[in-house]
A and B are shown apart, each in its own frame.
Chain A
Amino acid sequence: MNTEISLGRYVEGNSLLHRLDPRIKIIMFILYMVVVFSVSKSIVLALLALCIMGQVIIARLPLKVIWTSITPILPVAVFIFLMNIFTIKQGDELFKYGVIVITTGGLAKAFIMSIRLVLMIVSTSLLLTLTTTPLKISDAMESLLAPLKLIKFPVHELSMMMSIALRFIPTLIEETDKIMKAQVSRGADYDTGSFINRIKGYTTILIPLLISSFKRADELAIAMDARCYNGGKGRTKLNPLRINETDIITGSIMTICAVALLLLEFYL
């Protein structure tokens, strides 16, 4: 059975953003979140939108991909838009029908709020999910959290757990599918019947899945032992994260843009 599962909708590519060091991406992600939430002036918002559009172009992602990552939150954006437009009463009155009053201020605010939400999603997916593999994110987290090792926080273990989880998710999904089919062949029915019955039905999948997962864990532990795994101490890395000049330049430009936007927002 070939079940294609892509985690976090990573889109393969070799653009500047794809190659950018994942640690810088995480820092940039945090920085741009701050910017998105600080911006309230429409002119600055327009500039931010331009800036993020620029990143989309650099990432060479098809617009369709961006669109599919926005669609799930569109209803929320519309809801926020409507909430703002009907509740905020500032500036001139534009429209009035009974209790419904729309003002220029409300309209502006509604636009800003919903566009901010969209930009937030685009920025996140652009920097993290669409251009970075989950494995790299896990690597970057290990590296960024490294200082916590000083206070005995198990950074390496956490990152190892995460990467093993990533490795086994497709395997377990495939196995779930197999067990489910086998139980259906024995008369199990997961779509009909009362809620309680359906939950009960799922134990016929969960128990075998759990048992085989423990067996896998056991065998994997032995296999890791056999390959001299001894915790994080003294381990080297095949693909160590390394920041090169391009990373520094890209990171700097993105930072300058972000800082400029913040300055404009507060001093314009």
Chain B
Amino acid sequence: MSINSNIKDLENKNEASIKVDDVSFYYGLDSIEDENEKKNLEPAVKNVSLEIKKGEYIAILGHNGSGKSTLAKLISALELPNEGKIFVDGFETSDEASFEEIRKKTAIVFQNPDNQIVGATVEEDVAFGPENLGVPNPELRNRVDDCLKKVGLYEYRERESSKLSGGQKQKLAIAGALAMKPEILILDEATSMLDPISRDEFLSLVEKLTKENNMTLITVTHDMNEAMRVDRAIVMEHGKIVMSGLPQEIFSSEEEINRIGLELPQHIKLANEIARRTNINPVTEDYRSVEATVDYIRKAVSENPAKSSEAEENSESSEKKEEPKVIMSVKDLTHTYDNRKKPVLDGISFNVREGRLIALIGKSGCGKTTLISHMNAVMKATSGYVEVITKDGKVLNSSNKKDIREIRNNVGLVFQYPEYQLFEETVYKDVEYGLKKQGVPEEDRKKIIEDTIELVGLDKKLLERSPFDLSGGQKRRVAIAGVLVMKPRILVLDEPAAGLDPKSKKEMFKIITNLKKSGVTIILVSHNMDDVMRYTDRVLILSDGKTLKSQETKSSFKDRKALESLGIKRPVLHELVETILNNSDDEELSGKIAAIKDYSDAVELIIEEGVKA
């Protein structure tokens, strides 16, 4: 470190609330003794310099493994830099004497709601931080009550914390952080395990609370929609800062964002697609808010004649095909948990036809997971049953004990976060497990396993590795392979993209569409309506375990009010197009908007309608 930079440190002490000065960090550097090995160690954070002012709202963006979470831990003194220095409000993190001061000033909310709650009851958890600081009563009691009221959990204060919903748990974590009266709040992917509705609610709450108290807010995320809300965004890749600036500056470089494996917010993407079809310039640094971008698109369409459409017409939709045959049939299914009066599922009936990709949607807690657990009989129905029709037309019945094994061979079920079910020493053995249980002879297994691992987009070399050494996205694909080896004809997936960064998510959906092409019938549980819009043929809407509506995807998102009453938001893209076309009551147009599947559909419709107007 040069003398110059030290002088600069002193100068900046009072201006910047956080100052990161040429910091590098290596995981496990201290535990390695061999010098050569030390040299080969890849840094998690490399030569990062950064200043954050008091009260600023910053996003640190990057794909999984880019070093963004490590940087957050370095700032809150949970890790110490190997090279360089970090100052928080003038205190250096490497200085042991200032540890407590820094941790008092910085509060951090982590990704997994379950793994950061310490207290057995809600109020005990909020009190944990201030108790550690030695805050006496009655101030302690006042702080706890006050923070619980701020996040809207006051009525739950005596509840067991483990019984809260995911969204409530993250709010509890915020209350626990606020109770320490921090100056800096860091969200370390705090929203990635929440459904879109809880996510918006959570972010708005945090923004309001930090603004009120003039706190610095740093959000670490791979979701560009969050970046739209901040004052300044920083993009990291391989431990380095590769972009930094106003969100709109970052949005204006689409290619770079895509290369890094992130994804632009949908309104910017749509604007760029429009720009490509008309003759005007793509989105520049002037666009950030949805409103400004909508105006831009309107202007672009009205002033510039569109180039003739090059997209080929989709002809298959007009043809009336024969309906494929029924492969699974749920009949009057009811499930009541032991200690409840009200059934979770109350007389559900529907058919699933072969070869389709069906979305199962409904708000959190409406019984989706319970419903899919009956599809391969891992849960026993209180009444009613599920029928599965085999290849040779045999009808299997879930209430018939003898059929259960065969049902499970036909219906593969992948629960949420399936990476947590891996248990073998090697990927090969883990994937093999189901085959062994099916009684497939050993000599046949190898080929099936290799084919399956390729099907999920993984390298065969990984087969001999331990599944626990892989990245999160890879682990998930191994877990899915473990179900696919059993060659299910119906595959049920519960939120297969939850928590994945944009790149891994895209790959996941590629696997799913490939599976569909190969003839597998797929049932997909999802909270992300844009995914549902893009990838599925039909939609099943479950509300309160009772009514179940089955519709074609293209007509599912027509009625916004009806959907909202079920706790479902329309796809963002549909909302955008509707705003751009200023549609309020034109039934026909609503139908056209609801039929949009991707950006090119949206562009077509906007240009067509725009030209008409």
Q: How far is the CB of A6 from chain B (nearest CB, A)?
A: 9
The segment from A34-42, A74-82, A106-114, A176-184 that touches chain B is A176-184
* Complex Cα–Cα for A268 and B17 (A): 79
Contact between B120 and A163, CB atoms less than 8 A apart: yes
Residues of B within 8 A of A170 (CB): 160, 162-163
Instruction: Say which residue of A3, A179, A186, A229 sits within 8 Å of B420 (CB atoms).
Output: A179
- Is the Cβ of A4 less than 8 Å from the Cβ of B339? yes
Query: How many angstroms from the CA of A181 to the CA of B373 in the assembled complex?
Result: 8
Q: How many A residues have CB within 8 A of the partner chain?
A: 51
Residue of B nearest to A165 (CB): B120
Q: Is B545 an interface residue (CB 8 A)?
A: no
Chain A positions 175 through 198: 1 when the CB is less than 8 Å from some CB of chain B, otherwise 0 = 100110111111111000000000
| Contact pick for A167, options B120, B123, B134, CB 8 Å | B120
Complex CA distance for A164 and B433, rounded to whole angstroms:
34
Select the stretch in A124-132, A216-224, A253-261 that faces chain B.
A216-224
Any A CB within 8 A of the CB of B221: no
**Which residues of A lie under 8 Å from residue B123 when comparing CB positions?**
238
Q: Is the CB of B421 within 8 A of A208?
A: yes
Asked whether A212 and B118 contact (CB < 8 A) given A187-B437, A226-B103, A227-B128, the answer is no
- Is A234's CB within 8 Å of the partner chain B? yes
8 A Cβ contacts from A131-183 to B = 134-135, 163-164, 166-168, 170-171, 175, 178-179, 181-183
The listed residue (A184, A211, A216, A236) touching B115 by CB distance below 8 A is A216
Binds A, one of B136-144, B286-294, B308-316: B136-144
- Residues in chain A near residue B415, CB distance under 8 A: 178, 181-182, 185
Q: Is A92 an interface residue (CB 8 A)?
A: no
Does B376 belong to the interface (CB within 8 Å)?
yes
Docked complex Cα distance between A228 and B119 (Å): 14
Instruction: Write out the residue numbers on chain B whose beta carbons fall within 8 Å of the beta carbon of A188.
Output: 433, 437
B135 interface hit (Cβ, 8 Å): yes
Q: Which residues of A contact B373 (CB under 8 A)?
A: 181
Cβ-defined contact, B420 with A227, below 8 A: no
A187-B376 in contact (CB<8A)? no
Minimal beta-carbon separation of B399 from chain A (angstroms): 17
User: Does B150 reach chain A (CB closer than 8 Å)?
Assistant: no
What is the CB-to-nearest-CB distance from B18 to chain A, in angstroms, rounded to a whole number? 16
Render B94-136 as a binary contact track against A, CB cut-off 8 A, 1 for contact. Answer: 0000001001101110101011111111011001111111111
Task: Indicate if A230 sits at the interface (CB-CB under 8 A).
Answer: yes
Q: Which residue of B lies closest to A186 (CB)?
A: B434
Contacts of A187 in B (CB 8 A): 408-409, 433-434, 436-438, 486
- A162 and chain B: residue at smallest CB distance: B120
Bound-state CA distance A134–B160 (Å) is: 12
Do B133 and A228 have beta carbons less than 8 Å apart? Answer: yes
- Asked if A96 CB lies within 8 Å of chain B CBs, one says no
Are A235 and B116 CB-contacts (below 8 A) given A208-B423, A226-B103?
no
A168 surroundings in chain B (CB, below 8 A): 162
A72 within 8 A of B: no
Give complex CA distance A208, B482 in Å: 15
Chain A min CB distance to B76 (Å): 6
Q: How far is the CA of A164 from the CA of B125 in the complex (A)?
A: 11
Q: Tell yes or no: B418 within 8 A of A by CB.
A: yes
A135 and B129 contacting across the interface, CB-CB below 8 Å? no
Instruction: Report whether B421 and A183 are in contact in the complex, using a CB–CB cutoff of 8 Å.
Output: yes
Across the interface, name the chain B residue whose C-beta is closest to A201: B437
What distance in Å separates the Cβ of A136 from its nearest Cβ neighbour in chain B? 10
Kindly state the separation between the CA atoms of A78 and B433 in the bound complex, as whole angstroms: 49
Smallest CB–CB gap between A237 and chain B, Å? 6
Q: Determine if A236 and B131 form an interchain contact, defined as CB atoms under 8 angstroms apart.
A: yes
Asked whether any CB of chain A lies closer than 8 Å to the CB of B468, the reply is yes
Chain A residues close to B by CB (< 8 Å): 1-4, 134-135, 163-164, 166-168, 170-171, 175, 178-179, 181-189, 203-204, 207-208, 211-212, 215-216, 219-220, 222-230, 234-240
Closest 9 CB pairs of A and B: A187-B437, A238-B127, A223-B116, A219-B115, A207-B423, A227-B129, A185-B413, A182-B421, A167-B120
